[in-house]
Structure 1
């Protein structure tokens, strides 16, 4: 059977495995609902648990730094779902609407360290990891370490998975829609 774009539906709790139903219950307790992205991962027996484990791994990056990486990566990859979700999360982490728009554009002039991170993330995603030495030097000069570099790359990989999944399927965005840039 061939699946068309219009056939990509988000499963309900009753349509996923018992293991994934238990994860749905945990998500509802933790965040109040099951985001459509997570529910879509549950169409696969192990993907949701694997993805959540990746997302909750210990990292050297602070919450605001993670949102910078998420916003820049999602913007470059054109994922409206993740742009919208991370705009909401960015606000929860203290960014203003104006700051979020600037971050999505690949810079953060309001904070020197976050600006270096945004530019490094943008260059990494745009150039498949082949980043100009000046950009890398600015990243390290801003106070980031090689351990931070590894965490940025892991977070970019996390976000690319979700960006591509939504870009391929186009299921409904269940966050306030982020403005177009």
Structure 2
């Protein structure tokens, strides 16, 4: 079983999984994955305001989903060295210790995918072009 298949079988909803994936895509500056996951999220009926917030890196209106977005960003930015306060905030929002592991799994998937796309300079598929996204930090090696 692949890591992606395990992640898809987590207790998280599609919206929650996309929050983890798209938060990492944005922080890692992956233009390909942001466009692809925007398209995937739209097809999975992730709320438009959630997709927009993930693309822009802004707060999600739903407090529970925002706690997940913030925790995911902390895991990425602090390379897993999360504070007790960050952990407690996620738990207080209604998530569990299992969610912490699911965020780590989703983050791991995106490190592999995002970095591969950076190095390969993967061209955007036609299906994803309507959702093209550019990162202020993206650069060609």
TM-score, with length taken from structure 1:
0.65
Structure 1 runs (4+) greater than 6 angstroms displaced: none
Query: Cα RMSD between the aligned structures?
Result: 1.7
Q: Distance in 2 between matches of 1:61 and 1:116?
A: 14
Q: Distance in 1 between matches of 2:122 and 2:134?
A: 18
Q: Match of 2:138?
A: none
- Bigger relative contact order, structure 1 or 2, given CA contacts below 8 A and separation 6+? 2
Q: How does 1:29-108 map to 2 (within 5 A)?
A: 53-57=2-6, 58-104=9-55, 105=57, 107-108=59-60
Q: Deviations over 1:123-157 (max 9, x none)?
A: 11011011232222111111111111111101110
Q: Which SS does the other structure have where 1:179 is aligned?
A: coil
Q: Any stretches of 5+ residues in structure 1 without a counterpart? A: 1-49
Q: Distance in 1 between matches of 2:90 and 2:132?
A: 27
Q: Is the 8 A contact 2:14 2:46 kept in 1?
A: no
Q: Which SS does the other structure have where 2:124 is aligned?
A: coil
Q: CA deviation at 1:179?
A: 3.2
Q: Which SS does the other structure have where 1:56 is aligned?
A: helix
Q: Distance in 1 between matches of 2:38 and 2:76?
A: 19
Structure 2 residue 84 is the aligned partner of structure 1 residue 133: yes
Bigger Rg, structure 1 or 2? 1
Q: Distance in 2 between matches of 1:178 and 1:136?
A: 33
Q: Distance in 2 between matches of 1:97 and 1:143?
A: 23
Change (3 A) 1:106 1:121: farther
Q: Any stretches of 5+ residues in structure 2 without a counterpart? A: 136-141
